[in-house]
Structure 1
Amino acid sequence: MKGYLLYSLLMITGSIAQASSIDSLKIALEYQTNTEERGQTLYHIAYSYLTVGDSSGLSYLTSGINLFTKNKDEKELAPFYYLKGYYHRNFDRNHSQAFISFSIAEKLYEAVEDLTMLNRCKLALAEYQFKSGNYKLSKIEFREVEATCIELGAISDLGYVHEQLGYLYKKENDLTQAISEFEISQAYFAQINDHPGELRARLELIKLRYQKGFIQEAEATIKRTLSEMNDKSGPIEIKDYFQFLLGKIHQSQGDLLAAEIQLSRAYQNAFSRAPYDTETFRMARTLGQFLHDQGQTERAIQLLESQAEHLPHPSNEVQLSALSLLGQLYESQSKFTEALATERRVSEGKLAMATAEAQADQARQMAEITLAQKILADEEEVAHFEAKSNQQARAMGGVIVAFLMAMGWLFWLKEKHRKQAEANSTHWEELGKRYKALEDALSMMG
């Protein structure tokens, strides 16, 4: 209790100190007339807000951009555009604005020969190519970033680049190359004592080795990692994933008691921490199936019922698969009313998922990036935007038009998905058979 109160007091004190600092900067801003000092103050205020996702910093960001655009100061202007890209990418997910902002920042950092920040802009843009499915181009860009990182000795960025390359090769199902990239990433993170980064890379390595059948090697790595995590700080959720993987390995080796202990412990920790999380639902489904296979169906049903209470809307495929398993277990116990109701929830969830924005996110990113690239193709508006401030205004007008086009396209896409989902919902042969079987069973029961 004392520890909790002390932690709360520290958090409150920190928040008050930060608020006080921002208020002091706002007061100073009112009296500053020097362009450089005023711009730096605007940047610090915007940074304090935007790096925690507070849109209150956008007005200060815009003021800073206008100030340094008017004075044609590329060196001072570049950080504003990088910060703008960071906010739009990580918080409001306005990907066209993020892509444009990182691209402008890239040109500015190139002009002032700031290789470190130029490389980080290139890294952000390479990630967008990867997420939009342009794997070939993203590989080229990631390798260019890697070469510059080696030249600069940027170890942290090197670890991140190889981590992204690992995900990319994993997406392409080139597991051998993915393992190689994650091994390199882990080595770089370990070199600078970035423990969370090292654990992320190691977790992916264990998954891949387990997938390729290197069971004993994966088990040894997990046990060593769990032992190390008792002595080092690290993300709590990663420890749960390691424990859960260890349980699956015990299951594959036939040690069912050890498997149940590890699977149950990891799931309970995850459920207590984040019951709505996708990985928690994945654990629930795996553990529920395990318990059912061991003849503990009632316990599995209780577990999945508790998990189903936290089903978010809209739901994703993993979350709905846990709910679907619950329906199957109800049916196995002749609880046909509950089974039918659960299958209906699954059907409704799939229909909602098909029309949800989350399901169209990659398509939206691809559309927005394509639109952004078209805007950036006009060198008069972007590469030479600093020549006249009214050019920037026209460019932003173009962004607004493009954004409206993107929203119109997204609406069309969502309507298409919705209509397709409605059509599919009446033609899912397997689901239709399950409905018919359950209804027949209910009618037989009277």
Structure 2
Amino acid sequence: MSTLSTTVLEQSELIHAIDSIWVALCAAIIFLMEGGFALLEAGFVRSKNAMSIIAKVIIDIIFGGIAFYLFGFGIAYGNSNGWFAFDLGITTEDLGLGLTVSNKLFWFIQLGFAIAAISIVSGAVAERMKIWSYAVYVFLFCAIMYPMVANWVWNPNGWLALRGFNDFAGSAAVHAMGGFSALAAAIVLGPRIGKYQKNGAVNAIPGHNLPLAAVGAFILWFGWFGFNPGSTLGAVGNWELIGTIATNTFLASAAGGLSTMLYTYFRYGQVDITMTINGVLAGLVAITAGCNVVGPNAALIIGLIAGVLVDVAVLYIDKLKIDDPVGAIAVHGVNGLFGALAVGLFATEGGLFYGGGAAMLGIQALGVFVIGTFSFTITFVLLKIMKKTVGIRISKEEESAGIDAVTFGVEAYATFE
């Protein structure tokens, strides 16, 4: 073998090694976000249901993970007809993505996206959904529903990908998908007992441990720096892009928290720290689609808008008597929608505010509208069928006593004499 051939081979191996380490680290960080979901949601519900939230997130991982291995990955990244693929398992063929990591490692990082999407739903159905009915829904979500959307957006032959839809790390494919599924699930399940009075008044049901929820939010915040930069799927040659994504991700999240703090202070006379937590997450959700194509000043604006939008959305959803204990619909659904549209407004190349006209905004609107409609409709119909057959809601007695004691025979906080 010539010296030149040896050098080329060594360079190729080095690129594969560096990119594999980068993707593996980001995938692990994304996986850790499930701990963030668990703690955030557990803190936002009553203590008698804290363990049921932990159980649901575990189900997201184990049921969702196996479903995504058996069916979901092949549907998302197999040989697509534009809408669907019929491969099973982890293909060894070239996925057409120009990867410098193995398909197995790519599967693992994509697994994190799939279970993040379904974990959004777990918060909206908290304190009232049957555990095994939820497990069935999780399996179907990660086996078919989410993979179809991922196919449209990220498969090289996906119909949205071919039209130039930009959803870099999933404002639409992950967050709007999960958020509008959560909306349908909350509607079909109905509100928790005592949440709404007959005259329309809303009874606050505060979470039992806000410091726990805050720790969960910090873990999610940290995880987003695997979620967004990790979507480059490689480090070599992407150092400037990774820096842009990380900067935009932080600026939008900080701006989201800032605008929520200011909004709640001037509206209510004091800062609402629980809404500030959701404001940070709203900023993260909103920047996820366009973190690769917007500038830092635009990221600040996107975050500022998201932080107010989440507050307004929470109040409006409550007025509709849709019970969402953790604000998942407002954070992920509403701001996932906004984040996808923000690309068409703020992208430095093609964005409406940068002289690009309305073409990009149009495809962004089409994509997120179809994704939101699809996820809402399929979830609504599926849960309606399950409601009529196997049932999806726990009994009134179980809801009053708490899921933890009745279903699991344990309590989150043991008392000692």
> Same-fold call, TM > 0.5?
no
Structure possessing the higher radius of gyration over alpha carbons: 1
Higher relative contact order (CA 8 A, sep 6+): 2
Q: TM-score normalized by structure 2? A: 0.27
Q: TM-score normalized by structure 1? A: 0.25
